[in-house]
Amino acid sequence: MLNRLTKSIGLFALCGTAFVLGCGGGLGSKTNFRVMNAVPDQTNINVLLDGTSIASSVAYGTASAYAETKSGSRHLQVEPAAATNVFLDQTFNLAGGTNSTLVVANLSATSSGIVLTDDNAAPTSGNIKLRIVNASPSLGTVDVYVVPPGTNLNSASPAISSLSFESSSAYLNLSAGSYDIVFTPHGSTFAFLDAGANSFNAGQNRTVVVLNNLSGGFSIGTLNDLN
């Protein structure tokens, strides 16, 4: 089942590298918040929240570390790291006692902040939680296979069907281990992107994001939601 991502007005390209980021926990009127730069035409971005800088020079395809902030309605502004011209200005809501990731997505002229609520509750013993996000403006709607390495997709079923741009899956509950993550056009087994074997240890929660690759094609980034 797909979850449409929360966003306000308007509306993630790694070169074969998975970025893993730490996390924390928020309580009551506080929340933990991080920002990912997924704007293909912005090498680095600065992020302001209610007029105060919360992240500087966030490189394309990476995210800032979690920072504790207050919950409620917040005013976000994003600008290039080397300039002061704001290209994204929007208001959004942060729930208290949560971890959230805001993905600054799409090209800067049509960008938006997409808010994900991260799961920091431990999976059951021996298992992992895995969420997939489609943040590639060039990929289109895809099926996602999460299979043991070397699996023939013709004999497998997608773990996630019809994942559109700017959408997220629910967290999958899987046994710890190594998985190939493959993105195909909806209804096809042709691989737009085969991310290869990705290993996950018991007790981990991960978000895997498919992005445009600046040198062409697609790539993934991996965010650490727990452990």
**Alpha-carbon distance 132 to 61, whole Å?**
15
Q: Where in the chain is the domain with CATH 2.60.40.1110?
A: 25-118
- Per-residue pLDDT tens over the stretch 46-58: 999 999 999 999 9
* pLDDT at 173 exceeding the cut of 80: yes
Name the band, by pLDDT with cuts 50, 70 and 90, for residue 15.
very low
CATH for the stretch 127-226: 2.60.40
- Per-residue pLDDT tens over the stretch 69-111: 999 999 999 999 988 899 999 999 999 999 999 988 899 999 9
Secondary structure (H, E, C), the chain: CEEECEECCCCCCCCCCCCCCCCCCCCCCEEEEEEEEECCCCCEEEEEECCEEEEEEEECCCECCCEEEECEEEEEEEEECCCCCCCEEEEEEECCCCEEEEEEECCHHHCEEEEEEECCCCCCCCEEEEEEEECCCCCCCEEEEEECCCCCHHHCCCCEEEECCCEEECCEEEECEEEEEEEEECCCCCCCEEEEEEEECCCCEEEEEEEECCCCCEEEEEEEEEC
**Was domain 25-118 assigned CATH 1.20.1260.10?**
no
Tokens 């011209």 — which residue? 85
Which one, of 191, 106, 213, lies nearest residue 143 by Cα? 191
- Per-residue pLDDT tens over the stretch 187-211: 999 999 999 999 999 999 999 989 9
Q: Would strands 167-169 and 2-4 be described as parallel, antiparallel, or unpaired? A: antiparallel
What is the torsion angle, in degrees rounded to the nearest 10, for the CA atoms of residue 128, residue 155, residue 163 and residue 196? 60
